């Protein structure tokens, strides 16, 4: 099923609820200050003040700001004053005045204004992909790459599918745009070059499609498919936002790449027969990248339609990017773990949509919201807990018809998260006469906050704040609260953090293959949307938008799909495994201060079971130095290591293959860019004594850069001795291959123990990094 986070965990199987990558904001910079020195002409500067060291002669910061400014210019006026993005103001000054001001007490900095060309909903900026970088790295070949998206279809009228400036469709393209209800071949162009739909499996299960409620065509009636396709490869659109939130210029990761959509998911779900047909047609059409925000439970690879279909795609040279799933923070909750897939988890970016609740006792708490309607009264409003104003045993979750109108009318209602979609809770409150809603996280959701476009004044709070809020309501005889909304906030730190909903390892199906592979932006992502439903996807929501903000690994997956398209455009000779390796081995796992990326669920350092190799760093991925490549033959050997019979291998690989009795096949030798090392706690136990548990892994590196000598370094785990042989590898030519072995030795540890380390090859310029995850069972 399509991974969805717009509903809560118990509702992720309801396809019509929305999924919870693009983001809006600024990329390339241009200095606005005069290029030529002119002491008499004025330019704009941003003045950062030392707020906490205001002279005692002032009792108001604004007066201090004004006085400081007037000390260098009687005519200058403050353009803006800043409270959150900075402590200070902006103004117009001559270069001489700016220099004088910089020397004043309490002035931290005087910075010439920088003009940012608004680019995508902030994700490219967050990922380091400025416009100039994107185009220089792609070298004009990006337009030869076709990104296929298996999803809910497409809304072709969006500006995100504008083909202005694109060259003719690549001659190798064999796809087409199919005709159906509300969709004609003329809806396609040089950007959207293919659109197909597959409904036979769906209709076999549910009967003929009700064309009064959904289009039997490639048209997207849900929104999810349009969001993912524009995230991966949407065109540049200025002035994009959702009700003014995340305002900026939207663009996909690969703006010059082509898009082909394959509608395999309908309002009732995604069926394996339709998915297989979609993959099959995508291969025939000639896509280069396949983006699939679709997943379910785990099954042996030879029983898994997605694993089988994507193996075929991989064999045809197509990189397949898939979502890891929204089953986090539970351990071992992954989908799409086949080693030929690129499995993507979700992280946050440095942007948020704050909202505030101020209680009658003066305490205030910060949550998130995308509400933009009529504001609630500024005066305190009575606040109640849903569980106390309901006739239902589970009324605390604000299910339909659960609230007693007489006890809710004119009040703010606290609704516990879970049980039904988040936005639906607000509608329940509204229908009962409530005028506001606070969505309260419990221990199942922790501090995870996802912004929603509520239909009444509402916000979501983390578990800690929710607990404090409830304590106040339960203890006060007349509890009150005020709600307010803060718009868009940039520069949020720390970022990224691993999203709580992002599915985690270990990989139960193949414990010696580490998944997820990496994480990418997947929380509160703005991208294109359908015109068929409102931003919440609910029938009561009659609003229509061109862009929507939603969250989920469904959003992180197309980010990587688009980045893979950029790499394919720059390195068309690279295999799917080489592209994945480049993305993984250049990912980062620490912040600039050296601390490990955090997990929003508990605030603790995340691990490779959470983020795989780390957070994607596309600029570094264009020049990885070395890659861990793999071919179909490597995956056939992998099947032999799994003890698959010739019959089972044929189910996956569609070819006759018999494992050689003369060869020793080991999963440890699959040429993967990461290491998962499970130890058996019972190994070596005999007569009460314990022998060291030793395992050996083999890897092969391919040089994709200049000749160089690489030296290995290992971040040792306190629980495992790690030995790499050889410790240096010298490459004299392009595509030269060198192998090495890693020996891991561990004494017995308690079952359930985990530990982590990192292995890195470097030539002084490149760092080829691999995570190592140890577990004892």
Residues annotated catalytic, as ranges: 151, 224, 554
Instruction: Give 321's strand partners.
Output: 291, 342
The three-point CA angle 622-628-631 to 5° equals: 110
Distance CA 324, CA 322 (A): 6
Residue 296 backbone phi and psi in degrees, to 5: -160, -140
DSSP string, 491-515: --SS--EE-TTS-----SS-TTS--
Question: What DSSP letter does each residue of 214-256 carry, written as one string?
Answer: S-SSSB-SSSHHHHHHHHHHPPPEEEEEETTEEEEEE--SSTT
Q: Please name which of 465, 420, 455 lies closest in space to residue 434, comparing C-alpha atoms.
A: 455
Decide if 49 contacts 88 (C-beta within 8 A): yes
What is the residue whose two structure tokens read 């359908």? Answer: 530
Q: Which of helix, strand or coil describes residue 385?
A: strand
Structure tokens belonging to residue 725:
């042989």
Both structure tokens of 314: 């991989």
The answer to whether residues 77 and 25 touch, using CB atoms and an 8 Å cutoff, is no
The single residue listed with the structure tokens 């007037």 is: 70
**Contact indicator for 311, 200 with CB cutoff of 8 Å:** no
**CB proximity list for 208: less than 8 A, separation 6 or greater:** none
Which residue reads 């314990």 in tokens? 690
What is the rounded distance in angstroms from the CA atom of residue 95 to the CA atom of residue 33?
9
* Number of helices followed by number of strands (H, E) in the chain: 17, 41
177 secondary structure, DSSP code? B
Tell me the C-alpha distance between 750 and 689, whole Å: 15
The number of CA neighbours under 13 Å toward the Cβ of 532 is 22
DSSP-derived 3-state class of residue 640: helix
Q: Which pair of tokens denotes residue 526?
A: 């703005």
The CA distance from 622 to 645, in Å, is: 39
Within 13 Å of residue 17, how many CA atoms lie on the same side as its CB? 22
Coil, helix or strand at residue 310: helix
CA separation for the pair 567, 193 (Å, rounded): 20
Q: Report the interhelical angle of 576-585 vs 553-570 (nearest 10°).
A: 110
- The closest alpha carbon to 326, from 78, 628, 553, 564, belongs to 553
CB 755 within 8 A of CB 714: no
User: What are the distances in angstroms from CA 616 to CA 22, 418, 425, 559?
Assistant: 15, 31, 35, 9
H-state helical runs in 593-642? 608-611, 618-621, 632-641
Torsion of CA 72, 75, 79, 80, to 10 degrees: 50
Residue 512 CA to residue 749 CA, distance in Å, equals 18
Q: How far apart are CA 190 and CA 481, in angstroms?
A: 53
**Nearest in space to 697 (alpha carbons), one of 667, 729, 741:** 741
Six token digits for residue 527: 């991208």
Q: Classify the phi-psi angles of 325: left when phi > 0, otherwise alpha if psi is within -120 to 50, otherwise beta.
A: left
């Amino acid at each position: 099923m399509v991974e969805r986070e717009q509903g809560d965990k118990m509702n992720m199987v309801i396809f019509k609820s929305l999924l919870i990558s693009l983001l809006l904001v600024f990329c390339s910079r241009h200095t606005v200050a005069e290029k030529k020195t002119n002491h008499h002409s004025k330019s704009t500067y941003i003045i950062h003040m030392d707020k906490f060291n205001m002279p005692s002669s002032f009792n108001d910061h604004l007066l201090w700001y004004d006085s400081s400014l007037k000390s260098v210019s009687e005519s200058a006026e403050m353009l803006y004053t800043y409270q959150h993005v900075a402590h200070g103001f902006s103004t117009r000054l001559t270069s001489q005045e700016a220099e004088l001001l910089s020397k004043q007490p309490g002035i931290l900095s005087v910075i010439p204004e920088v003009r940012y060309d608004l680019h995508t909903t902030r994700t490219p900026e967050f990922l380091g992909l400025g416009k100039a970088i994107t185009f220089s790295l792609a070298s004009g070949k990006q337009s030869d790459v076709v990104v296929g998206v298996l999803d809910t279809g497409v809304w072709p009228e969006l500006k995100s599918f504008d083909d202005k400036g694109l060259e003719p469709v690549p001659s190798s393209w064999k796809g087409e745009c199919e005709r159906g209800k509300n969709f004609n071949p003329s809806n396609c162009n040089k950007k959207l070059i293919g659109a197909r739909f597959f409904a036979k499996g769906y209709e076999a299960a549910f009967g003929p499609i009700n064309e009064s409620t959904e289009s039997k065509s490639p048209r997207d009636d849900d929104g999810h498919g349009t969001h993912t396709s524009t995230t991966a490869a949407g065109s540049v659109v200025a002035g994009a936002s959702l009700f003014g939130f995340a305002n900026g210029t939207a663009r996909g990761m690969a703006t010059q790449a082509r898009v082909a959509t394959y509608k395999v998911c309908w309002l009732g779900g995604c069926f394996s027969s339709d998915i297989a047909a979609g993959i099959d047609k995508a291969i025939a059409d000639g896509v280069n990248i396949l983006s699939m925000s679709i997943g379910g439970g785990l099954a042996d690879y030879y029983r898994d339609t997605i694993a089988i279909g994507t193996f075929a795609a991989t064999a045809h040279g197509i990189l397949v990017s898939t979502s890891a799933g929204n089953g986090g923070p539970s351990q071992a909750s992954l989908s799409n773990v086949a080693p030929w897939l690129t499995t993507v988890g979700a992280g946050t970016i440095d942007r948020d949509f704050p909202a505030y609740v101020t209680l009658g006792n003066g305490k205030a708490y910060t949550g998130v919201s995308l509400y933009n309607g009529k504001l609630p009264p500024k005066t305190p409003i009575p606040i109640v807990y849903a569980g106390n104003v309901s006739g239902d045993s589970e009324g605390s979750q604000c299910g339909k018809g659960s609230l007693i109108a007489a006890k809710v009318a004119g009040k703010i209602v606290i609704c516990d998260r879970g049980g039904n979609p988040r936005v639906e809770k607000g509608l329940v409150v509204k229908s009962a006469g409530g005028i506001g809603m606070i969505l309260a996280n419990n221990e199942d959701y922790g501090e995870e906050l996802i912004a929603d476009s509520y239909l009444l004044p509402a916000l979501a709070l983390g578990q800690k704040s929710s607990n404090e809020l409830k304590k106040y309501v339960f203890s006060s005889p007349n509890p009150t609260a005020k709600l307010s909304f803060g718009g868009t906030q940039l520069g949020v730190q720390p970022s990224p953090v691993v999203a709580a909903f992002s599915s985690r390892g270990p990989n139960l199906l193949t414990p010696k293959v580490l998944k997820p592979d990496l994480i990418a932006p997947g929380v509160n992502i703005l991208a294109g949307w359908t015109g068929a439903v409102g931003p919440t996807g609910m029938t009561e929501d009659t609003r229509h938008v061109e862009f929507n903000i939603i969250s989920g690994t469904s959003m992180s997956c197309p980010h990587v799909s688009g980045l893979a398209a950029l790499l394919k455009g720059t390195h068309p000779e690279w295999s799917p495994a080489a592209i994945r390796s480049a993305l993984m081995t250049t990912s980062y796992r620490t912040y600039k201060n050296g601390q490990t990326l955090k997990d929003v669920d508990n605030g603790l350092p995340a691990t490779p079971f959470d983020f795989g190799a780390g957070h994607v760093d596309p600029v570094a991925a264009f020049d990885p130095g070395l890659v861990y490549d793999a071919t179909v033959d490597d995956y056939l050997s992998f099947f032999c290591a799994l003890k698959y019979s010739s019959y089972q291998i044929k189910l996956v690989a569609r070819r006759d293959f018999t494992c050689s009795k003369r060869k020793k096949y080991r999963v440890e030798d699959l040429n993967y860019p990461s290491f998962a090392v499970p130890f058996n706690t019972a190994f070596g136990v005999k007569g009460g004594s314990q022998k060291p548990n030793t395992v050996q892994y083999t890897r092969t590196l391919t040089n994709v850069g200049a000749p160089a000598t690489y030296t290995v370094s290992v971040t040792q785990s306190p629980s495992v001795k790690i030995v790499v042989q050889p410790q240096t590898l010298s490459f004299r030519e392009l595509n030269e291959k060198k192998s090495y072995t890693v020996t891991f030795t561990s004494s017995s540890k308690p079952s359930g123990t985990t530990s982590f380390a990192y292995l890195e090859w470097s030539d002084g310029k490149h760092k080829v990094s691999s995570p190592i995850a140890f577990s004892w069972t």
